[in-house]
Copies of this chain bind each other. A is one copy, B any other.
Amino acid sequence: MRQQTNIFPGTNCRHQSRMIGSLGERQLIESIRQWLGPVAPPAPLGMGDDCAVLPATAASDQLLITTDSLTYGQHFDQTASPQQAGAKLIKRNLSDIAAMGGTPGHALLNLLCGADLAIDWLEQFVGGLRDCCLDYGVSIVGGDVSQLAAGQFTAALTLCGTSGDRPLLRSTAAIGDAICVTGMLGGSIRGKHLSFEPRLAAGQWLAAHRACSAMMDVSDGLGKDLAALLPAGSSASIDRQLLPISDDARACAREDGQSAEAHAFCDGEDYELLFTVAAASDWRAFETDWQAQFPDLRLSQIGRIVAANPASPARYLDAASGAALPWQSGFEHFKHR
């Protein structure tokens, strides 16, 4: 196997020519444009003017816009290939577009890094971004480069998309609705945080399906994210035995002694779709429709939205016992730990 490309090759003289500090800003931007190749159209749609000029959306469409960043040492490290890191940057945003039932379109890239960043590494990072843009039909139409202190790398990507007449929101679930999730949960640190596939086709299908009442993606972990789907005065009653626990969650549990269920409930970066199905809809018919469309993507109904018990403010309840679940939150960024 090829040796991993080093993100910061070190500051001895021998390596100076391999760092982006040996390029000027103009040459760096021109290199990025060349590495992006077919996904970087020329101005006025793409790079080269003060703004990118996007075509007007169809009158029946709504414009979606989202942004996310990827920081070395926080969202990836040297165990990720540069291609995987570049793909992850856009896939995190694609997952947000999927969560509204949208179709991705145009993106802008902010690159913020030390002058000691390896040119080779950046070329491969941009290559991973390019390949993912080709897979999902995204163009990079603009961006910005800016210098940080040595050893620092962050990229931010802003992604536009369109939805039909009905983007699926988080705020439209109701008491009685079934709580559903795609795929398997937990243990993404073992690889899925890089290898995940944003659920665009499923998101579009769900947004068009009248039974689906609300949707979001699971990025910070079910335990943190699910609260955003719960209307005021409600709780989530969870069928614990129906949680789709991944093999990676089980492997993590064997390593750290926590339960696999805790990993499935609390780990971040699943990038699955979390959605609700209206109480009045025919669940069996919905499940049959789903299986015909997505035979390889597991659908789990993990619980139901219920009226909150005024005596117990817990957001998450065990459906079997009615007791509060032990995990009432997920991953928190920034907190001193």
- Which A residues fall within an 8 A CB radius of B? 16, 20-26, 28, 43-44, 48-69, 71, 73-75, 95-97, 99-100, 102, 106, 108, 110, 112, 115, 141-149, 151-152, 154, 156, 158, 160-161, 163, 167, 169-171, 216-217, 228, 332-336
Contact = CB atoms under 8 A, between A and B. Distances in A.
Q: Give the dominant DSSP class at A's interface.
A: mixed
B65 A24 contact: no
A332 B25 contact: yes
A44 B166 CA distance: 11
B171 A43 contact: yes
Given A55-B62, A66-B108, A149-B152, 9 more contacts: A23-B335, A24-B335, A50-B96, A56-B63, A65-B158, A108-B158, A112-B154, A145-B333, A147-B333
13 contacts: A22-B336, A25-B335, A49-B169, A50-B66, A51-B99, A53-B62, A53-B167, A54-B65, A65-B142, A67-B142, A69-B110, A144-B156, A154-B154
Number of copies: 2
Given A67-B143, A332-B26, A171 B48 contact: yes
A170 B50 contact: yes
Nearest to A57: B56
A235 B21 CA distance: 29
Which of A63, A163, A170 has the most chain B CB atoms inside 10 A of its CB? A63
A229 B18 CA distance: 32
A71 B154 CA distance: 12
B332 A24 contact: yes
Given A28-B334, A56-B59, A67-B144, A102 B51 contact: yes
B158 A49 contact: no
